[in-house]
Amino acid sequence: MVGVAKREIRIGMIGYQFMGKAHSHAYRDLPFFFGTEIKPVLRAVSGRKEEAVKDAAEQMGWESYETDWRKLIEREDIDVVDIVTPNHTHAEIAIAAAKAGKHIITEKPLALTLEEAREMLQAVKENNVKHMICHNYRFAPAVQFAKKLIEDGKLGHIYHFRANYLQDFIMDPEFPLVWRLKKEVSGSGALGDIGAHSIDLARFLVGEITEVVGTMETFIKERPAGEMAGGLKGQADNSEYGEVTVDDAVAFIAKFESGTLGTFEATRFAGGNRNKNKFEINGEKGSLRWDMENMNTLDVYFAEDEAGLQGFRTISCTEEEHPYAGAYWPPGHIIGYEHTFIHLIHEFLHGITGNVQPAPNFEDGVKNQAILEAVERSSNSRKWETVRN
Ligand SMILES: NC(=O)c1ccc[n+]([C@@H]2O[C@H](COP(=O)([O-])OP(=O)(O)OC[C@H]3O[C@@H](n4cnc5c(N)ncnc54)[C@H](O)[C@@H]3O)[C@@H](O)[C@H]2O)c1
């Protein structure tokens, strides 16, 4: 638009597979749907193997590439460092990026441990850079609308938050021992990989969790060596078997500050459920239900509905009244998984230009990590554990 200052924000991304693709797409589509006032520039992507990172740069539209993430962080033509590598790298990269004065967006979970997560938060605060963690499911229009209904008091006091995050991609015992199944690389299994998303939705919609009791289980103890091969696929090399050191499944109960009772289940062994990320909230005046696999809709129930017509109804969150939905198509013309990342990156880049700290950020990452840590402690102690905030 003539007369409107456009602000270019130059991105450097580290890693380029599953989340690399989701983030690259989001940067590219952001100005297409939300206007060019803020324009992400895909300046450089970093990876360890030259041929592979070169191909990725070409496919995803990055101007240049690096084969050492430290070089990418040193570059003066980069404003933002985007971390889409496995969890054990998040802390080292984020702390180095903060010291270099870069704004940081990182994938979840924030770190391997609560201690590491706290160091990351300290680094971004000390260096006064903006920070964000990619809990993208918050940014589905239906979830944002659920938040609005809760804030408007439509549910009244909330009694229950119930979440299941169900996947099945490692049920085959020959699925390889990828980084997601090694504690020293991932921190935990289903708990930190997908349970962390449910925890974020719980904190976003209902508030802080103070105490947990839970249990974690590993069904398949050994697997053949291998690597992730894009998305949630694995490539076994069948050379030797190694030990799975994380949970395949976790279940826990949580008490919220508000008095709400939470129940959570996260598993990679729920056959037939590819990415069934769902929650139900029950309040004194109504209930809400959402399911990622039908992410454009929200089921709502209001106790004040006329007698005889009461029950859950399904609304399509594709109207202008639904956050972000107005940037896309006419009502009923649905959007998908990738759009949740566009919305998250929209908030992040506007936070940078507007000098406002967006959420969820490293503070949320630390609070999330404290809950993950408490669940793990409880699984070991077989007792209720306090969340160490
Ligand atoms: N927000 C979400 O819904 C979501 C979904 C999937 C994954 N994630 C998170 O995103 C991150 C990446 O997961 P993914 O599924 O994209 O993994 P992936 O295995 O598909 O990709 C990882 C990338 O990191 C690179 N890499 C691996 N080890 C590295 C190292 N030591 N140094 C530098 N680069 C390295 C790989 O070459 C690859 O490009 C993880 O933290 C994961 O928990 C988030």
Given a cut of 60, whether residue 92 has pLDDT beyond it is yes
Given a cut of 60, whether residue 72 has pLDDT beyond it is yes
Nearest Cα residue to atom 9 of ligand 1 = 107
Q: How far is the CA of 228 from the centre of ligand 1 (A)?
A: 9
User: Which pLDDT value is given to residue 371?
Assistant: 98
In angstroms, rounded to a whole number, what is the distance separating the alpha carbons of residues 215 and 226? 28
Question: What φ, ψ does residue 82 adopt, rounded to 5°?
Answer: -110, 120
Q: Report residue 40's pLDDT band, with 50, 70 and 90 as the boundaries.
A: very high
| Percentage of residues in the chain having pLDDT higher than 70 | 99
User: Which pLDDT value is given to residue 6?
Assistant: 74
Given a cut of 70, whether residue 3 has pLDDT beyond it is no
Quote the pTM value.
0.97
Measured from the Cα of 135, ligand 1's closest atom is 1
Instruction: Report the 10 Å Cβ neighbour count for 237.
Output: 11
Q: Which two tokens stand for residue 55?
A: 């191909």
Instruction: Report the 10 Å Cβ neighbour count for 274.
Output: 12
Measured from the Cα of 341, ligand 1's closest atom is 1
Given a cut of 90, whether residue 5 has pLDDT beyond it is no
User: Which pLDDT value is given to residue 239?
Assistant: 77
Instruction: Please give all residues whose beta carbon lies within 6 A of any atom in ligand 1, as ranges.
Output: 15-20, 47-48, 69, 84-87, 89, 107-108, 134, 136, 193, 228
Instruction: Report the 10 Å Cβ neighbour count for 49.
Output: 10
Given a cut of 80, whether residue 238 has pLDDT beyond it is no
Q: How far is the CA of 85 from the centre of ligand 1 (A)?
A: 4
In angstroms, rounded to a whole number, what is the distance separating the alpha carbons of residues 109 and 88? 10
| Percentage of residues in the chain having pLDDT higher than 90 | 97
User: Which pLDDT value is given to residue 1?
Assistant: 40
Q: Which residue stretches of 165-315 are H helix?
A: 183-186, 190, 196-205
Q: How far is the CA of 17 from the centre of ligand 1 (A)?
A: 7
Mean pLDDT of 314-343: 98
Instruction: Among 93, 107, 337, name the best residue to mutate to test ligand 1's pocket (greatest count of ligand atoms within 8 A of Cβ).
Output: 107
